[in-house]
């Protein structure tokens, strides 16, 4: 039984999945997708793997999955014996899912800004940055309250897939011209995350903490 | 010679600057790095490595040195470069020195003065003890608008709002609560407020007050 | 964005697109030196480039060359030809472009970063440099007056994973070559064959003084890696550098040697800055405000 990840190193969404695979110490096979300039994710071959034409996609024991958030849920559900990355108790499960959805929704404006600046995507860059700032503010407000409670993570007292899902596009936002100056609680949270055992960086996230 | 005004401005909450961290701050359009060694006070430096201009707020801390992320050049707390990893046996020349600004912690707020060795006094609101950090909050409005709003916002039964030269405001509530705001102009259209509070049971009210400041920000930005 | 009047900059060939970017029979707008231009492709390798004046009047047709996976043009009177890079003509080479990547800084910051070995251990950790082997050994720089290029030779650096094909660490031998203010390349020894070098280039399209597109064509010796892997490796390296490039202050390049303090490892950057100063280029250069 092997896990196969359709991957592009520069994708923050693929990075979410690589992070969890690494935290869980899971072996997997990587299939590199020439996302840019090749647009291989829009090729007929790849559309049979994910008809939405998006990466990441994951194959696991006959199961074919798309959407980074869904893949995080699947991996945590299946492989995390400790239950910490996706807590099932009623106080935490809903909150984790809420921030996981936020990562796949509102935070993706930061991804759009990055695609515009680095890879020349045609889109309204001012609107993308403004939406990203609005989303960052919501997460920073939340993490400010968490700091006051003496907590370090988005939900609970252990990092969860909510932290994994939110981390990449907050950390990579500078690539899209979105700075971290206004978000002291996000800076502290990101630093804590980067100091986790088994954390690994990607291009755009400095290796040294 | 610096053309900056001789004035102390709050640029962050002391407790929110983690040990072994470097942080970006913009004050009046000037990029600063706020950093703290593995222990010791917060330093305020120009956000620029003298070597190749890299922002030092991206740097990392080892012991009591701040290291530039680009080439790992290490700077001691007085700004002096003490190590150049590309040349491990070289003693860095004295001329390689990061540009630092005065930094003081008072009331739980980190203050700096961009004019350098100025003669202005730190804002004085009495004894340093008893202040609890609330939060820093960034408002997308000019400092003049934000200062004005501090006079009219509903913090409860306000008895007095005392300004200190535009860079700080003390709001007194009749219940005995005091909220001190340091006002940091970021750019023409953006202002940061760094808030601390004092009074009976204030440690247990920090979350309430932080949420109150979210309302303050929304109120100012909607006006 | 105003069009630059700096003839030194205008007289250089610069890339304005990559081969395959403009569809057959299609058209694309872009900008060089603040000047909007239009690229039309009528046939496989048949491109027409012309200026698009702001006032809507008809444009001026510009010279075009296609090479090294890129479309090149110039707004002025080109003083030097496109560089000759023989490796791109060797039949067994993997010749790959990597599209273009946008970088908000001056073109010279990109060139300097490409010439720099001292950042490998910090920015390309465990790939092009190891945290415990940071030393940059002495190397030579020269201004080759016959071709008016800057070269850095005898460069060596320990690399844990020098290329996609590398399985183990190696002392990598580098030769660097600055062919114009806006183009630079390196030759580095190939893991499997000591007699040959990979050739990796960066050609820069300056859209404005602090806004660039970087093109990274390469001609490498590697029978095994997939094209997707080769591109992924090169882009991963470049996006590690991009964070640095966009956060250097000022973004414009200061030529005053007291404003940014170099050390021995920066010999190539020093030679490059002197060369820029001697050619009196003004575009994208930082002029310190009078105190």
Residue A202 lies in a domain: no
SS3 C183: strand
Q: State the pLDDT confidence band at B5, using cuts at 50, 70 and 90.
A: confident
State the average pLDDT for chain A.
97
Q: What is the DSSP letter of C265?
A: G
For chain A, what percent of residues have pLDDT higher than 90? 99
Looking at A15, A48, A79, which one is the last position of a domain? A79
| Contact state of B69 with A181 under an 8 Å Cβ cutoff | no
Q: What is the mean pLDDT of residues B59-67?
A: 97
Residue A85 lies in a domain: no
Contacts of A156 (CB under 8 A, 6+ apart): A87, A92, A95, A96
CATH number of the domain that B65 lies in? 2.102.10.10
Same domain, A122 and A176: yes
Per-residue pLDDT at B87 exceeds 50: yes
| Contact state of B60 with A206 under an 8 Å Cβ cutoff | yes
- Please state, as a whole number, how many other Cβ atoms lie within 10 Å of the Cβ of residue C121: 28
Same domain, A66 and A115: no
Same domain, A186 and A99: yes
Look up residue C185 and give its two tokens. 């390349």
Per-residue pLDDT at A93 exceeds 80: yes
Determine contact, residues B193/B183, Cβ cutoff 8 Å.
Answer: yes
Q: How far apart are CA A32 and CA C228, in angstroms?
A: 6
Q: What is the mean pLDDT of residues B83-105?
A: 97
What is the count of residue pairs from A and C with beta carbons less than 8 Å apart?
A: 71
Same domain, B53 and B98: yes
Same domain, A139 and A186: yes
Neighbours of chain B (3+ CB pairs under 8 A): A, C
CATH number of the domain that A42 lies in? 3.40.30.10
State the average pLDDT for chain B.
95
Q: State the pLDDT confidence band at A128, using cuts at 50, 70 and 90.
A: very high
pLDDT digits (tens, 9 = 90+) for A28-74: 999 999 999 999 999 999 999 999 999 999 999 999 999 999 999 99
Contacts of A59 (CB under 8 A, 6+ apart): A3, A4, A49, A65
- Please state, as a whole number, how many other Cβ atoms lie within 10 Å of the Cβ of residue A95: 16
Count of domains for chain B: 2
Same domain, B105 and B137: no
- Find, in chain A, the residue whose alpha carbon is nearest to that of C124: A207
Same domain, A150 and A173: yes
Looking at B112, B147, B173, which one is the last position of a domain? B112
In the predicted model, residues of chain C with pLDDT beneath 50 are: 290-291
Same domain, B26 and B105: yes
Same domain, B105 and B177: no
Same domain, B81 and B154: no
Q: What is the pLDDT of residue C191?
A: 75
Q: What share of chain C is helix, strand, coil (3-state, %, to 5)?
A: 20, 35, 45
Residue B74, beta-bridge partner list: B67, B83
Per-residue pLDDT at B70 exceeds 50: yes
H/E stretch holding C199 reads strand C197-208
pLDDT digits (tens, 9 = 90+) for C44-80: 889 999 999 988 899 999 999 999 999 999 999 998 9
Look up residue B6 and give its two tokens. 């001789």
Contacts of C102 in chain A (CB under 8 A): 117-120
Q: What is the mean pLDDT of residues B11-34?
A: 98
pLDDT digits (tens, 9 = 90+) for B119-173: 889 999 999 999 999 999 999 999 999 999 999 888 888 889 998 888 999 999 9
> Which of B16, B26, B206 shows the shortest C-beta gap to A188?
B16
Q: What is the pLDDT of residue C290?
A: 43
**Which CA distances in Å does B62 have to B20, B56, B72?**
7, 14, 10
Looking at A79, A113, A131, which one is the last position of a domain? A79
Q: What is the pLDDT of residue B3?
A: 63
Looking at A79, A107, A137, which one is the last position of a domain? A79
Same domain, B85 and B172: no
Question: CATH 2.20.25.680 region(s) of chain C?
Answer: 7-73
Residue A207 lies in a domain: no
Per-residue pLDDT at A92 exceeds 90: yes
Q: What is the pLDDT of residue B64?
A: 95
Same domain, A67 and A118: no
Quote the domain boundaries for residue A17: 3-79
Per-residue pLDDT at B36 exceeds 90: yes
CATH number of C90-285: 3.90.380.10
Same domain, B80 and B138: no
Residue B100 lies in a domain: yes
SS3 C60: coil
Determine contact, residues B42/B35, Cβ cutoff 8 Å.
Answer: yes
Quote the domain boundaries for residue B70: 9-112
CATH number of C7-73: 2.20.25.680
pLDDT digits (tens, 9 = 90+) for C82-119: 999 999 999 999 999 999 999 999 999 999 999 999 99
Residue A204 lies in a domain: no
Q: How far apart are CA B48 and CA A111, in angstroms?
A: 27
> Which of B24, B69, B214 shows the shortest C-beta gap to A181?
B24
Count of domains for chain A: 2
Interface membership of A204 toward B (CB under 8 Å): no
């Amino acid at each position: 039984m092997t896990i196969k990840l359709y991957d592009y190193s520069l994708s923050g969404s693929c990075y979410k999945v690589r992070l969890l695979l690494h935290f869980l110490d899971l072996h997997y096979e990587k299939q590199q997708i020439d996302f840019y300039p090749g647009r291989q994710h829009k090729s007929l071959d790849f559309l049979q793997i994910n008809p939405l034409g998006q990466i990441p996609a994951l194959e696991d024991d006959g199961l074919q999955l798309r959407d980074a958030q869904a893949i995080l849920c699947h991996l945590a559900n299946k492989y995390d014996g400790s239950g910490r990355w996706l807590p099932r108790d009623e106080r935490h499960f809903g909150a984790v899912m809420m921030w996981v959805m936020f990562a796949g929704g509102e935070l993706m404006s930061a991804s759009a800004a990055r695609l515009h600046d680095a890879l020349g995507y045609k889109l309204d860059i001012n609107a993308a940055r403004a939406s990203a700032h609005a989303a960052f503010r919501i997460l920073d407000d939340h993490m400010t309250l968490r700091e006051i409670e003496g907590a370090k993570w988005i939900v609970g007292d252990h990092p969860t897939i909510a932290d994994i899902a939110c981390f990449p596009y907050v950390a990579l936002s500078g690539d899209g011209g979105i700075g971290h100056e206004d978000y002291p609680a996000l800076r502290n949270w990101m630093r804590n995350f980067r100091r986790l055992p088994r954390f690994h960086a990607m291009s755009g996230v400095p290796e040294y903490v | 010679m610096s053309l900056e005004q001789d004035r102390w401005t709050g640029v962050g909450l002391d407790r929110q600057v983690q040990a072994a961290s470097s942080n970006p701050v913009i004050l009046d359009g000037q990029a600063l790095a706020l950093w703290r060694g593995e222990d010791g006070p917060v330093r305020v430096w120009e956000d620029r490595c003298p070597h190749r201009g890299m922002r030092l707020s991206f740097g990392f801390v080892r012991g009591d040195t701040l290291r530039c992320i680009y080439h790992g050049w290490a700077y001691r707390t007085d700004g002096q470069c003490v190590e150049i990893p590309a040349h491990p046996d070289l003693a860095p020349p004295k001329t390689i020195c990061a540009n630092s600004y005065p930094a003081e912690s008072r009331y739980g707020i980190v203050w700096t003065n961009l004019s350098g060795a100025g003669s202005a006094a730190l804002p004085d609101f009495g004894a340093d003890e008893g202040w609890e950090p609330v939060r820093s909050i960034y408002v997308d409005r000019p400092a003049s608008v934000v200062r004005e709003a501090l006079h009219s916002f509903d913090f409860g039964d306000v008895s007095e709002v005392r300004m200190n030269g535009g860079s700080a405001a003390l709001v007194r509530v009749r219940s005995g609560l005091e909220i001190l705001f340091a006002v940091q102009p970021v750019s023409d259209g953006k202002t940061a407020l760094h808030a601390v509070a004092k009074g009976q049971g204030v440690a247990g009210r920090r979350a309430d007050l932080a949420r109150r400041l979210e309302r303050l920000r929304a109120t100012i930005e909607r006006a | 964005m105003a069009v630059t009047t700096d003839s030194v900059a205008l007289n250089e060939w610069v890339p304005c697109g990559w081969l395959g970017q403009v569809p057959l029979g299609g058209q694309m707008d872009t900008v060089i030196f603040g000047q909007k231009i239009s690229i039309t492709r009528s046939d496989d390798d048949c491109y027409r480039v012309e200026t698009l004046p702001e006032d809507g009047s008809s444009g001026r047709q510009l010279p075009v060359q296609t090479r090294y996976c890129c479309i090149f043009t110039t707004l002025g009177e080109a003083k030097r030809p496109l560089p000759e890079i023989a490796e791109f003509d060797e039949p067994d080479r993997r010749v790959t472009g990597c599209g273009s990547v946008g970088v908000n800084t001056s073109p010279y910051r990109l060139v300097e970063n490409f010439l720099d070995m001292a950042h490998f251990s910090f920015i390309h950790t465990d790939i092009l440099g190891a945290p415990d082997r940071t030393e940059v050994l002495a190397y030579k720089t020269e201004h080759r007056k016959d071709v008016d290029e800057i070269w850095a030779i005898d460069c060596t650096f320990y690399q844990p994973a020098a290329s996609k094909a590398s399985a183990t660490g190696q002392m990598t031998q580098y030769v660097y070559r600055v062919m114009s203010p806006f183009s630079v390349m390196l030759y580095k020894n190939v893991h499997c064959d000591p007699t040959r070098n990979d050739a990796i280039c960066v050609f820069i399209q300056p859209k404005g003084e602090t806004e660039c597109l970087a093109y990274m064509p390469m001609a490498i010796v590697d029978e095994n890696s997939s094209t997707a892997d080769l591109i992924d490796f090169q882009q991963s390296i470049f996006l590690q550098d991009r964070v640095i490039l966009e956060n250097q202050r000022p973004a414009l390049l200061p030529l005053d040697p007291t404003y940014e303090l170099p050390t021995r490892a920066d010999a190539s950057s020093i030679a490059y800055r002197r060369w820029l100063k001697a050619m009196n280029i003004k575009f994208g250069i930082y002029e310190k405000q009078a105190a």
